[in-house]
Structure 1
């Protein structure tokens, strides 16, 4: 008898193709609350499945013509669930590797104008956002978080050669793949001149302009979330803000800092946000490095105009003292493994480490 499983790429393709499917999350509620697959439904049957209870789906009434994909943390208990559902006449498959594997599922959205095309590459469960920005036949990649092949294949599909790769900061919630991508493509790796990392890169100074194709990128130093945080202004229209400014909040200033250091970083963040708010004579479109929500396969870009964000994010309307106080009060829970991840990203080497073992779980970078 065949093993009723589906790989991440298989479920990803079903979503891309718009096929009807029920994604059934059978994890405990506290795990689902942490992160989940967008559009999935939940049945809290995990304990029953583990104990061998074969009646947990007796009241289930899904359409038997619609395939069901069962999901757990690692793909083992969901296999038990799929087998039980199949015995009841459903067409059920277990997601191989569970949420740990779905961490690397991705999709894209696009912005295009006369100067540049921006492809937003989104890790749909974790909410990580990276970018390929192309002009004529050249492209840059910012905040690569997936296997280099993903970016190389996307660039190829647009007829682009990847010229530069860069990060917006030393990430603490996922292993950066920028160095690998630079090595695989021969692209030049750029970073802020005060990055403090242990690997070689071409340093950028504040306001330095980097040409690619018929467009250009301008480096804007925006410390606060981290000391080396940098934003990238593309074609004087789009600002890739990393973890400095999100569509629903601002970056947290407390990681790798005690309380006093956190206060100083919060002040830096306030000043950087003020700089962003006055950066251009016309309205900028903000493209962050994360979203706090699971991402659907709708092709809608995650970003917003700076004018909208300045009205909708309450923290951006405060004076310095109030901003620092409220930001430090609203710090979300500390992300797991962040010190180890940040240390690995600073070294530029994660040999012998499986990123999936460190990266599972939602991101917690925003203060709203």
Structure 2
């Protein structure tokens, strides 16, 4: 059989950014494919056939042999067999190192520039997780870090910024926060809403407090509902970072880590928080902490004006009774491992857990 070539997530990301013509062949079981996938990849239902060692499993696959092909599985093992078969047929074939678990940490960036500040959106493309570096003058704050601290530090230094503050919009339940690690790595002050129930020390933030970052002030706005400590951040009423309270395609779910009675209380709190957000100017740009689907490498910044969301998200116009009844009637399946992840984020200690295993799968924090 032919030599097996592999490709890492960084090189594949670069190829996609460059617009290089490639075929990404997803050989995972359909249930895993439905959970999350690389946009524009092709899925073929040959997992069991390959697993049994069938070298003819790819005989009927119709793909252009003049275009490089990258095979993808969950962990990067079975895809090597698929790559070996394709290479023997004359394809320029590669196996994605680490598979979808590795692609979970692939990221790209998008930028918003204003007169006296810049926002860099860092996107984990597989899970749709969004974190932000907001910089002004030579100072910066990082919100909702979900990747290795060195990534944020490098981006900030490239921009000539020193990270003064780090924070999370809330205690996340679908990925392990890297904010505490980033605080330790960068020496930044770790901020959290004063309602946050965590086991580590932080500098508490109060509702309507102002954070000075270079030439701007960021207003802290307590927006409970998704979680009790959920916080949004406003910059000059031009931009509102809403965490998991308001997305560009839905609203945050209020039921995680809650029994029925508490879910109702949290739903009412969420309604009130959304009503508060509704009082912002229509031109306010909403920047959420997630998007519900995988991100296409290089796509524009994920943001939307509030006036458009008022038209596209019906729940923003409901009465409180209809709101609570509606959202509790269409809750999605809970995120995988969310209780374990939430406990890790409360304790600040990963322990012996393998984070890549815990975080596998799409986020499920939105109600549409």
Query: Structure 1: which 5+ residue stretches go unaligned?
Result: none
Aligned to 2:173: 172
Aligned to 1:118: 119
Aligned to 1:107: 108
Aligned to 1:341: 341
Aligned to 2:33: 32
Contact 2:281 2:306 in 1 (8 A): no
Contact 1:253 1:262 in 2 (8 A): yes
Q: Which moved more, 1:8-17 or 1:243-252?
A: 8-17
1:219 aligns with 2:210: no
Q: Distance in 2 between matches of 1:57 and 1:93?
A: 15
Aligned to 1:325: 325
Aligned to 1:272: 273
Contact 2:108 2:298 in 1 (8 A): no
Contact 1:109 1:301 in 2 (8 A): yes
Contact 2:140 2:164 in 1 (8 A): yes
Contact 1:108 1:299 in 2 (8 A): no
Task: Kindly report the root-mean-square deviation, in angstroms, between the aligned alpha carbons of the 2 structures.
Answer: 1.1
Aligned to 1:21: 22
Please give the residue correspondences for 1:21-100 in structure 2 after superposition, counting only pairs within 5 Å. Answer: 21-100=22-101
Q: From the superposition, tell whether residues 220 and 61 of structure 1 become closer, same or farther in structure 2 (CA, over 3 Å).
A: same
Q: Distance in 2 between matches of 1:141 and 1:319?
A: 35
Contact 1:163 1:188 in 2 (8 A): yes
Aligned to 2:12: 11
Q: Distance in 1 between matches of 2:220 and 2:157?
A: 26
Task: Give SS of 1:121's match.
Answer: strand
1:358 aligns with 2:358: yes
Aligned to 2:236: 235
Shift in Å, 1:2: 4.6
1:316 aligns with 2:316: yes
Task: Give SS of 1:276's match.
Answer: helix
Task: Give SS of 2:363's match.
Answer: coil
Contact 1:144 1:176 in 2 (8 A): yes
Contact 1:143 1:178 in 2 (8 A): yes
Contact 1:117 1:135 in 2 (8 A): yes
Q: Distance in 2 between matches of 1:142 and 1:157?
A: 18
1:244 aligns with 2:245: yes
Task: Give SS of 1:335's match.
Answer: coil
Per-residue CA distance 1:186-225 (angstroms, 9 max, x = gap): 1111110111111111111100000011011110000000
Q: Distance in 2 between matches of 1:20 and 1:140?
A: 37
Shift in Å, 1:281: 4.2
Per-residue CA distance 1:204-260 (angstroms, 9 max, x = gap): 110000001101111000000001100111233111100000011100000001111
Aligned to 1:147: 148
Contact 2:145 2:179 in 1 (8 A): yes
Task: Give SS of 2:134's match.
Answer: strand
Q: Which moved more, 1:294-303 or 1:130-139?
A: 294-303
Query: Structure 2: which 5+ residue stretches go unaligned?
Result: none
Please give the residue correspondences for 1:179-190 in structure 2 after superposition, counting only pairs within 5 Å. Answer: 179-190=180-191
Q: Which moved more, 1:50-59 or 1:239-248?
A: 50-59
Q: TM-score, normalised by structure 2?
A: 0.98
Contact 2:124 2:130 in 1 (8 A): yes
Task: List structure 1 segments (4+ residues) > 4 angstroms apart after TM superposition.
Answer: none
How many residues were matched structurally?
367
Q: TM-score, normalised by structure 1?
A: 0.98
Contact 1:116 1:235 in 2 (8 A): no
Shift in Å, 1:330: 1.0
Q: Distance in 1 between matches of 2:261 and 2:203?
A: 32
1:301 aligns with 2:298: no
Task: Give SS of 1:162's match.
Answer: strand
Q: Distance in 2 between matches of 1:24 and 1:136?
A: 45
